[in-house]
Structure 1
Amino acid sequence: MDAFTAKQTEHTEGRSHPWTTMTTDESSVYMDFKKNPKLIRSSLEDFTPFNKWPFTDTFYSLVEWLNSSTSLLESNDCTFNAAEENPDEQYPYAKKCSARLMILFRDIEENCQQRSIDWLMQNILQNVASTKVGFRAGAICLSQSTTCYLALGDTEDSGGMGQQLVLTFFAYGKNDRRCYENMQQVISHAQHCLKAVNKKLNNGELDSIYQ
């Protein structure tokens, strides 16, 4: 599967964690799914209109795992964009859909260590690109979003400034159905890769970069 990075996207402007409400939509509020996992399948408003499609259940499963006790990561904001005409010439399909998921280390201080964020980004990138190599109807883009971690302070010199990762999922198809079927494959592959990186975290591989 194609994997690439972007230095900045429209979603990587500075933000806080936890955030309160979106400036563009005050009805969207931050929810801690670690504490309230049952809300995952009812509160992701971009996905609920697509509940009949299997990719939605696959996405819910990914978010549930990320916020479970077996994960050293957690999720943050997410969005979904329905199938539309495909403008990306490098993918010869009529339709395109996309989704976004922001993730961070469960250990908040780790998100303020640039080496840790870079390690996480690079390991996810390598896992995505080196597996499912024959799949050409989808891609994952990784970027970083500057974040003020309020638990560590709310000023630039307080130690609370860091990053979180933005995963943008792209899927393509000759029609809406194929597009959504391929999105399910993209999300499933993302979970497979994130679990592989989580295993590295559990094995202490991140700690070794500081030795």
Structure 2
Amino acid sequence: MDAFISKQIDNSALRSHPWTNMVTDESSVYMDFKQQPELIRSALEDLLPFTTWDFVEQFYRLIEWVNGASSLLESNDCTFNPLEDNTDPQYPYAKKCSARLMILFRDIPENCQEKSIDWLMNNIQSMASSMKPSFNAGAIGLSQSPTCYLALGDKPNTGGMGLQVTLNFFAYGEDEKGCYASMKDVLAIAQHALLRVNMRIKNGEVDALYR
């Protein structure tokens, strides 16, 4: 499957972690799924209209795992964009859908180390691109977003300025059924990649960057 890194960093708005609410939607507020995992299946409004589709269950499982006890990562934001016409000639399908998941190290100071964030993004890309090489109906794009980590201070000179990794999921198909089946595959590949990356973190590969 295609997995690529975008060097373009989203500088449209500085994010914070934890954030309070969205500028465009004040009803959307940050929820700590590590502390309240039961909210994952009820609070993600983008997914609720699509719960009859299998990809939603896969998305829930991914978010539950990344915020669960065995993970050294956590999520910060999640969106889903439903079926629309595909205008990307690289993928010869009539329809597409997309989603986004933002992740970070659970060890908050690690997110302020550019070398660690680069390692995380590169390893996810490497793992994901090695899985299902014949699958051509989906892709994962990775990028970085500047983030102010409030636990470390809210000003540039306090050490709280860092990054997080954005996973953009793209899925394609000739119709609704095919498109959403592709999204399930993309999300499953993402979870397998993150599981393997998580094991590398546990094995000390991030710590080894600074020895």
Q: TM-score range by the shorter chain?
A: over 0.9
Deviation per residue, 1:68-91 (Å, 9 max, x gap): 110000011110000100011100
Give, as a single letter, the amino acid of the residue that structure 1 aligns with 2:163.
Answer: Q
RMSD: 1.1
Q: Is residue 93–residue 173 contact of structure 1 (8 Å, CA) maintained in 2?
A: yes
**Aligned match of 2:132:** 132
Give, as a single letter, the amino acid of the residue that structure 2 aligns with 1:209.
Answer: L
Shift of 1:7: 2.5
Give, as a single letter, the amino acid of the residue that structure 1 aligns with 2:16.
Answer: S
Cα distance in 2 for partners of 1:8, 1:81 equals 21
**Aligned match of 2:167:** 167
**Aligned match of 1:46:** 46
**Aligned match of 1:191:** 191
Cα distance in 2 for partners of 1:184, 1:74 equals 20
For the residue of structure 2 that corresponds to 1:166, the secondary structure is strand
Give, as a single letter, the amino acid of the residue that structure 2 aligns with 1:179.
Answer: C
Deviation per residue, 1:124-160 (Å, 9 max, x gap): 0100111211100000000000000000000011100
Runs of 4+ in 1 over 4 A off after TM superposition: 9-12
**Aligned match of 1:60:** 60
Cα distance in 1 for partners of 2:75, 2:12 equals 15
For the residue of structure 1 that corresponds to 2:68, the secondary structure is coil
**Structure 2 residues without counterparts, runs of 5 or longer:** none
Cα distance in 2 for partners of 1:195, 1:12 equals 31
**Aligned match of 1:78:** 78
Percent identity reads 63
Shift of 1:8: 3.0
Shift of 1:5: 1.3
Cα distance in 2 for partners of 1:37, 1:3 equals 28
Shift of 1:48: 0.7
Give, as a single letter, the amino acid of the residue that structure 1 aligns with 2:128.
Answer: V
Give, as a single letter, the amino acid of the residue that structure 1 aligns with 2:122.
Answer: Q
For the residue of structure 2 that corresponds to 1:119, the secondary structure is helix
Q: Is residue 13–residue 145 contact of structure 1 (8 Å, CA) maintained in 2?
A: no
Q: Is residue 12–residue 144 contact of structure 1 (8 Å, CA) maintained in 2?
A: no
**Matched pairs, number:** 211
Give, as a single letter, the amino acid of the residue that structure 2 aligns with 1:63.
Answer: I
Q: Give the TM-score, by structure 1 length.
A: 0.98
Give, as a single letter, the amino acid of the residue that structure 2 aligns with 1:208.
Answer: A
